[in-house]
Amino acid sequence: MDVIIASNEQEAGRIAAAHIAHALRGIERPVLGVATGSSPLSTYEDLGRRIKEGSLDLSQARAFALDEYVGIPADNPLSYADTIRTTVTEPLGFDPANVRTPDGMADDIAAGAKEYDEAIKAAGGIDVQILGIGNNGHIGFNEPGSSLVSRTRQVCLTRETREANARYFDDPADVPTHAVSQGLGTIMEARKVVLVALGEQKAAAIAAACEGPMGAHCPATLLQMHPDAVIVVDEAAGSQLQRKDYYADVQRLMPEDQRVVD
């Protein structure tokens, strides 16, 4: 795993977007895994800048969202389907027909979740999965204790996740108790993973994810087993890392031909 410490949110977004654009180069119909939440917003902004400047084109790309609440219809602005539409599909010029979100309103959630995994496979798998991380180390809505080989499925949200997400709801009691999330096994099949973490409240989860022992207590630690995971943090989110100097050396001393440049 490559850990990159950016000086602020904008720089984190630029670095993450550079890695995404670099990984998608030459792929005719790329498949992106996309996340909601505040962490990837500066990354999406920078991808938008690249599209505007003509160095990136996502008009043929396909996207699969990481997760969706159970019980919130797709046309409700609180749904992740709608959030992805306003933060990804429209600003980045995706064809809406090529963007999918797990169905949190299905009569048979389990069947829908299985079909979602199959649709990702049928699309050829995810080229780049964009991730945030929860304060508790979750990725997607794979809460601590999730099976490390889990597939897309219904999950019960932890109290800390519901509290963290209450900021979007008028009444904290309205935060759904369940979601449909890509599983850890699903996420691990992406060919590249780019995780963005911002702010002090993510510092402990990032230290655990990058330097702690691997285990279900902190689902993001599984990325230590991924062959191509890039973790981009701002200084606050990276503040509890023990090996900051080494991560800086890795970037500084990287051979020219391996360097990801804008």
Which of the residues are catalytic? 67, 136, 138, 143
Nearer to ligand PGA, 98 or 126 (CB): 126
Residue nearest to ligand PGA (CB): 37
Calpha distance 135→140 (Å, rounded) = 12
Least spacing, CB of residue 112 vs ligand PGA, in Å: 21
Contacts to ligand PGA by CB under 6 A? 37-39, 132-134, 138
Looking at beta carbons only, is 27 or 199 nearer to ligand PGA? 199
- Closest distance of CB 76 from ligand PGA, Å: 18
Closer by beta carbon to ligand PGA, 40 or else 48: 40
Residue 103 vs 143, nearer CB to ligand PGA: 143
Q: Is 235 exposed, middle or buried (0-12, 13-18, 19+ CB in 10 A)?
A: middle
Bridge partners, residue 5, by sequence = 233
Radius of gyration of the chain (CA): 17
Closest CB 195 distance from ligand PGA, rounded Å: 9
| CB-based contact 182:66 (threshold 8 Å) | yes
Task: Say which DSSP state 15 is in.
Answer: H
Smallest distance, ligand PGA to C-beta of residue 140, A: 7
